[in-house]
A and B are shown apart, each in its own frame.
Chain A
Amino acid sequence: MIRAVNLIKRFRRFEALKGLSLNVPDGSAYALIGSNGAGKTTAIRILMNLSQATEGTATVLGVDSRAISPRELCQIGFVAESQRLPAGLSTAQYLDYLRPFYGEGWDRDLETALLRQMRLPRERKIGHLSHGMRMKFALVCALAFRPRLLVLDEPLSGLDPLIRDEFMQGLAEQAGETTILLSSHEMNEIEGLVTHVGFIEDGRMLFEEGMTGLAGRFRQVCVTLAREAVRPSVAPAEWVDMRAAGNVLTFVDTRFSESGLGERVRAVIEGVRDIDTEPMALRSIFTAMARRAAAATGSEL
């Protein structure tokens, strides 16, 4: 559905993307996650032809992203935190305005259902809507024509928990077969929705993987020692975010395998009394990987 190869984007001397590649499979819900300034929004803007890459290529719905035309845009729903909607029109007026551009593709029943579900007023001016309501309205405008591809750039930023729930519920219920690409910091909210994750850091894709593989690969490992825990001077590269507290040493195993874990831990750490492993939430995986990336570049997270 979306494929990007070696995208580079320079803003004068600053390089925002440093050879980013990604692949969003058909029918997937792909989360592009990364810390602030990692390049998520820049990447999405290039994919949507809102901005031009300095180097590299991308295809969206099978066409070069630089050649996206109204034919493709009829099949793409887009919601961004910074999206500017016409403040002087009411929600109903704007929907009336949008409908003819999509022709038969616009589903009025779905539009009505979404407005009701999102509890959006029909006659209020868009400029008088709160930020949360505006984002929900943008989602209605992006879903009502049943797009093949839905792109969401930080859609949950600045929304209160109730609105987030409504937004995510509307998205989950109505997305159907739609392929979704979204960038977000809100891991807890998106975890139940996404099927694939791409972790972007400092303009590069650190890894991209299906959620099933990711959940199986990452484990929080908790090692209880017979003595005061000390971080070992040498540890496997796949053990990240290592911490010592009392007689407990914790770390994230990024190449987790049940078999042989005990032997591998004991080979590095002496005096092991007990080893516990726990599956990790997407948020924890993100945090651990972000800490490792920050440590590698010497910056603070």
Chain B
Amino acid sequence: MIWHIFRKDLRLSWKLALVAAALRWIEIALMVKLGLVRADHAVEELMYMVRIGAALAACLVVVAVVHNDSVPGATEDWLMRPIRRRDMLLAKILFVLIAVEIPSLVGCVGKGLAFGLGFRESLLGALWQGAMMSLGLFAPLLAVAAMTATILEIIVTVVACICIAVGLGQLASFFGWSLDNGPGALRWIDDASLNAGLFLAAVVALGIQYRWRDTNRARFAFGAVFAIGAASALLPWQAAFALQQRVAPVPGAARDVRLIFDPSLGRNGGAFVYADGSVSRPAPVFLPIRAEGLAPGNTLVADRVEVHMTGTDGSIQILTPVPPSFASDQAWQSLESFKDVRPIPRNKPVRVTVDYWLTLVKETDVYPVPEPGGSIRILSLGRCSTTSMPFGPMATLACVKAGPSAGCSVETMDRFSGQRATACSSYAPSFVWLPDWDEITVTQTQTRFLPSAAGLLHVKTYEVLDHFIRHVEIPNVRLADWEVAVHH
């Protein structure tokens, strides 16, 4: 009877489903027209507007198909018919898969092909994206629709969920626990927990509603499970980092890594001179830091730094400066901090301790950046091509990849200076899913540079090994000795 109910729903809701599919296809067509570089901002704006419309229409289809046979209340005709509620639920899921997911999947495959990906790769990427959308958005929406009878009730429920999530986030910020205050790229814990909470809440609520038709209990269970998921916002970042350490791909890989203050590296030089040759006053201070015990090909990403400075008079100043970029095994630790409230004593000796929250990454591949117009396939980034920007002197290397993004998509580009800007956009382990409307299907990565540099640049990709904390103790240092060196 599942197929029979599905056909009835299709008869009732095909127009709305067609509108949702058309909007999705228009959105995808605009995305293809934009290309990887997305230089036409007018089209980009239009694409985002259509995307919102397509998302709303898809949500409306899900709600409408559930409300065709509303579960709460006592007035629906189907409740007095010999229809198994399990069949009804499966028919609704089938409808979402066929009438919402398949048109989107077709569009996503077309998008992948238009971007030069192979059919199999595009299909796998589209399937992944469809699965993520089903788990993270459509399943919760099915549950909310099954617990409500009107659009107004849906809006109230969604607003209530948003209020819970935002309220908990605000509470975390108030207490200084927010993951945003912690080492970078911890946000995935919050996102994954929220999404897992949503999905589990949906499973529980759908189970209660279609098994026992107990709307109050289903609503309570949905709210409770969702709130537990959303409560991850209250997780202090220190605890989140500890969790991240536990799920690191190679826990303990950084066991032998030590950080030391190494005056032999000399002063950092030249980077902070203005165009007229002047240097900002007071001149920036950089402490030379060296990493020992790094295996060949490994390097470090500093996620968070906390500096404690103790003056001779016993006064203590705590700074949270910007984490440094490690060039192979060395880095210059800036003491610039947005939260500075007192000038740093520069001519008196101070005791400095630096705490680092770090990620150990391993180089996996090196790829030359092609000249403008050329393309290259990079294992973790997908198909990459270099394009000259339509305005300005810059060129861009944009990559497109179907399927889930790498757990840590590290892009590193060697610059003329020899320094490297290593960054992880996310440390989410591969078993964690983060639903996204689009970017999971085609992951786009862009890096801008001067076209003339193309032949001199290369892309290195890394994989995460371990997350760890290190402590650097500098018993006696005069900061004026480590002001930036100026080379005119």
Contacts and interface: CB of A to CB of B under 8 A. Distances in A.
B12 A73 contact: no
A123 to B, nearest CB: 14
Contacts of A45: 74
Contacts of B8: 86, 89, 97
B82 A102 contact: yes
Nearest to A72: B82
A88 B82 CA distance: 21
A97 B173 CA distance: 54
Contact of B82 (A50, A73, A83, A141): A73
A82 interface: yes
A70 interface: yes
Contacts of B70: 84
Contacts, number: 49
A86 to B, nearest CB: 6
A101 interface: yes
B80 interface: yes
A83 B74 CA distance: 8
A93 B75 contact: no
Interface in B46-84: 68, 70, 74-77, 79-84
Contact of A70 (B75, B76, B84): B84
Nearest to A41: B74
Given A70-B82, A102-B82, A88 B12 contact: yes
A74 B82 CA distance: 5
Given A73-B82, A101-B1, A102-B82, A93 B77 contact: no
B81 A83 contact: no
Contact of A101 (B68, B74, B83, B214): B83
Contacts of A71: 82
- Name the interface size band of chain B: 10 to 19
Contacts of B82: 70-71, 73-74, 101-102
A78 interface: yes
Contact residues of B: prevailing secondary structure: loop
A76 interface: yes
A73 B80 contact: yes
- Name the interface size band of chain A: 20 to 34
A179 B290 CA distance: 91
Contacts of A102: 82
A101 B80 contact: no
B473 to A, nearest CB: 65
Contacts of B471: none
A15 B22 CA distance: 51
A246 B1 CA distance: 70
Contact of A83 (B4, B75, B83, B84): B75
Nearest to B80: A78
B77 A73 contact: no
A89 B12 CA distance: 7
A54 to B, nearest CB: 13
Given A50-B80, A73-B81, A86-B68, A93 B11 contact: yes
Nearest to B82: A70
5 contacts: A45-B74, A51-B74, A84-B75, A88-B11, A89-B12
Interface of B: 1, 4, 8, 11-12, 68, 70, 74-77, 79-84, 214
Interface of A: 45, 48, 50-52, 70-71, 73-74, 76, 78, 80, 82-86, 88-89, 93, 97-98, 100-102, 138, 141
